[in-house]
Amino acid sequence: MKIKEVEIRTIELPLVRPFRTSFGTQLDRELLVMKITTHEGAQGWAECVAMSEPLYSPEYTAGCQDVMERFLLPAIFEFGDIRPEEVAGVLKPFLSHQMSKATIETAILDAQLKLDGISFGSYLGANKTEVDCGVSVGIAKSIDALVEEVSQYISEGYRRIKLKIEPGWDLEPVSVIRGLWPDIPLQVDANQAYSRNDIDLLKQLDPFNLLLIEQPLDEHDVLGHALLSAAVETPICLDESITSFEAARDALALKATTVINIKPGRVGGYLESVRIHDLCVEHDIAVWCGGMLETGIGRAANVALAALPGFTLPGDTSASSRYYKRDITNPFVMEDGRLRVPTGPGIGVDIDHDFLDEITSARKIITAS
Ligand code: NPQ
Ligand code: MG
C-alpha cells in the first residue's frame, strides 16, 4: 500500500465519572485519532492511547503528535509501498515512542485488512467470538461510594473487578469488597505507587484471594518486583514495565511477573502484542488485555486481540458505557458480561463522523513532502 495522506485529530471526550488512580484524577479523555488514506483508496483508523500528560507513560498526546509528524510519518512516506508487517522495522531507528508507533502501524493494518476483506480478529488469530469483560474501578471518595460503584458494575454483569489502589487506599477497600462479594474475581492495580519498603504491607493482601497485584512498584524496578513476587502469595502482574517482547521475556526470566497485562499501545502495536501473547502461551503464563480508556476505535482492536487463545483472564475491555455517554463508533455493548468481537473488515466498527467532528479540537493533514 502507498500512503497518500494522514490526518491526525485531537479529540476530547468527557468521562461518565471522574477516574482517579494513584497518579491523578481524569475528568476527560484527550487523545489523538489517526486516519490514513492510501492510493488504493483504502482508509485506516487508529487511536493513540497516550494521555495528555506523561503520568502513566513517558508519552503524551502533544509529544506523540510531534514525533509522528517530525520523524515517524516522514520515514513511512519515504519507504513508499508498505505492508503492515514492515512498519515496525521502518520505525525502529527511532527509539521508544511505542504508543506513537502503534498508532501508525494499527492505522496501516486497518487499511490493509479493509482492502483484503479480513477482520482484525482473524488476522491476529482469534479463536473466540466474544470476550469476557472486567472493569477497572477508580479510587473512590469513600468506602460507601466504592461499594455503590462496584455493585453497579456487578449488576451490569462484569465478570471481574479491578480496584485501583495507593498507599492509604488498599487493605480496607479490598477487604470490604471481598467481604461483600466473596466469589467475584478481584484484582488490584497500584500504577507504581509502592516501593520495596512496602513488601510487608502488600503481603497483607494475601488473604483476600486476589487474582493478581498489578504494577505495584516503579516501572523500572523489575528486580523489586521479583523480590516482591518471591515474598507474597498473590501473583504479581506487570503493566507499565512491559514495553516490548524483550521486556516481557526478561521479566518472566527474572520471575518479576507471573501474569502479563498486554496493552498494544504500550508495546508498540498489535503485532508485538501477538508475539508477547505467543511467548506467554509457550511459558504457560496467563495474559489479559489492558485498557487505556479507548474509544470504540481502539476498543474494537483490543477486543479482537483479547479473543486470542492465550487471553484466559477477563481484560479491562469494558463496554463503551463504562467511560463514555456517547462513543465515536457504534458502541460496544456488554451482553452477559461479554463483548462481541467485530467481524467486519479491519477493526470492523463504523465511525460516527458527525460526533467525531463535534469533539475535534485540532486537526492536521500530513502528506509526503
Ligand atoms: C492501567 N487503565 O491499567 C490503566 C491506567 C490508566 C483501565 O485501569 C486516561 C487515559 C486516564 C489513560 C487512567 C485502567 C487513564 C489512562 C488510568 C490509563 O493502569
Ligand atoms: Mg495498570
User: What is the per-residue DSSP string for 273-334?
Assistant: HHHHHHHHHHTT-EEEE------HHHHHHHHHHHTSTTB-S-BS---GGGT-SS-SBSPP--
Number of domain units in the chain: 2
Q: Which residue has the cell 481524569?
A: 26
Query: Which residue type is seen at 258?
Result: T
Q: What is the pLDDT of residues 60-99, one digit of tens each?
A: 999 999 999 999 999 999 999 999 999 999 999 999 999 9
Provide the pLDDT confidence category of residue 104 given band limits of 50, 70 and 90: very high
Average pLDDT over residues 164-168: 98
Q: Assess if residue 153 is contained within a domain.
A: yes
Residues 284 and 358 in one domain: no
Residues within a 6 A CB radius of ligand 1: 19, 21, 26, 29, 51, 56, 136, 189, 191, 239, 290-293, 316
Residues 152 and 282 in one domain: yes
Probe residue for ligand 1, chosen from 262, 292, 299, 320 as the CB with the greatest number of ligand atoms within 8 Å: 292
Q: State the chain's mean pLDDT as an integer.
A: 98
Q: Assess if residue 213 is contained within a domain.
A: yes
Residue 92 is a catalytic residue? no
Residues 145 and 65 in one domain: no
Average pLDDT over residues 346-362: 98
- Alpha-carbon torsion (83, 356, 333, 160), positive or negative: positive
Residues 22 and 111 in one domain: yes
d(CA 221, CA 275): 23
Is the pLDDT confidence value at 138 over 90?
A: yes
Residues 131 and 208 in one domain: yes
> Of all atoms in ligand 1, which is nearest to the CA of residue 51?
10
Which ligand has an atom closest to residue 290 CA? 1
Q: Give the domain CATH number at 292.
A: 3.20.20.120
Is the pLDDT confidence value at 368 over 90?
A: no
Q: Interior CA angle at 282 toward 84 and 161, to 5°?
A: 85
Residue 364 is a catalytic residue? no
Residues 228 and 162 in one domain: yes
Would you state the pLDDT for residue 243?
98
Q: Assess if residue 137 is contained within a domain.
A: yes
- The residue whose CA is least distant from atom 6 of ligand 1 is 292
Is the pLDDT confidence value at 251 over 90?
A: yes
> Of all atoms in ligand 1, which is nearest to the CA of residue 29?
9
Q: Give the domain CATH number at 45.
A: 3.30.390.10
Q: Which of 162, 164, 203, 255 is catalytic?
A: 164
Residues 264 and 357 in one domain: no
Residues 295 and 326 in one domain: yes
Residue 21, classed as helix, strand or coil, is strand
Q: What is the pLDDT of residues 203-239, one digit of tens each?
A: 999 999 999 999 999 999 999 999 999 999 999 999 9
Residues 228 and 257 in one domain: yes
Is the pLDDT confidence value at 369 over 90?
A: no
Q: Assess if residue 345 is contained within a domain.
A: no
- The residue whose CA is least distant from atom 19 of ligand 1 is 191
Contact of 324 with 298, CB cutoff 8 Å? no
d(CA 250, CA 76): 30
Residue 34 belongs to domain spanning: 3-117+350-367
Residues 185 and 286 in one domain: yes
